[in-house]
Amino acid sequence: MDDLSFRRAIYTDPKTQDTDVLTAMLADDKKKQFSQEINQLDESIMQALNVPIPDGLSDKLILRQSLANHQANKRKSRIHLALAASLAIIGGLLLNFVQFSSAYNNLGDYALAHVYHEQGHFNNNSSTQISLKNLNDKMATFDGSFKRSLGKLLFADYCRFDGMKSLHLVFQGTTSPVTVFIVPKDEQLNFISNFNDNKLFGSSIAFKHSNIIVVADKNESLSEWKRSIQETVSFST
């Protein structure tokens, strides 16, 4: 190894463990001396830079960190509390919304759901029959009356139609019972004049304060039912 590259190597890193540099050093006393000089220089630099460390610096660093950490934790727990409170409020509002709002947005959907729900209770060939007087007593609640019977009335009672007090009538139909609802007008459910699904279909008639909804299977003539309802039902107000 020539002198120049040796010096260069030592200047670059006096503590080099490069084998070429080490063998060159062993072979030449001058090189060895040079290396020692530069190592001495490094030692002096080390000394010069080795300023005393302030007392207790490490303790101060740890203290400062634990204080900062404590502050952060306090902030964090406040945030958590705020989060929990917000969640509780949102939960409350949601519960309110679910409980007091309708899951159905029009009369037809609700009527169909209602009919399906009570399907099992009614037998088309049931022998019970409710008199016209009995029916009109109940209709009085809605300020309405039937002029004559629409057919064999199997069932007539109040029920909850999406939370509203309504009259639920079941007539004998051709193949399955025909359901008629008398429902007070309400803004939550949109009026829909005709609706159906794959088994049933229905139609609504709007009166001044009430809606009448007929739901029947597809063997019935809905328009016939509609026409006779319009003819027989009258409201006093």
Q: Which stretches of the chain bind other proteins, using CB under 8 A?
A: 8, 11-14, 37-38, 41-42, 44-51, 53-54, 57-58, 60-62, 64-65, 68-69
Please give the structure tokens belonging to residue 68.
Answer: 């900062």
Kindly state the tokens that stand for 130: 């409710």
Look-up: residue for tokens 């949109």? 190
**Residue 19: half-sphere exposure toward Cβ, Cα within 13 Å:** 0
Distance CA 135, CA 152 (A): 12
User: From the CB of 15, what's the least distance to other proteins, in Å?
Assistant: 9
Helix (H, G, I), strand (E, B) or coil at 184: strand
DSSP three-state, residue 52: coil
| Shortest distance, position 63 Cβ to other proteins, whole Å | 10
Least distance to other proteins, CB of residue 100, Å: 47
Identify which of residues 44 and 174 has a Cβ nearer to other proteins in the complex.
44
Shorter beta-carbon distance to other proteins: residue 26 or 63: 63
By beta-carbon proximity to other proteins, the closer residue of 44 and 101 is: 44
The minimum distance between CB 78 and other proteins, in angstroms, equals 19
Q: CB nearer to other proteins: give 4 or 98.
A: 4
Q: Is the dihedral of CA 186, 192, 195, 200 positive or negative?
A: positive
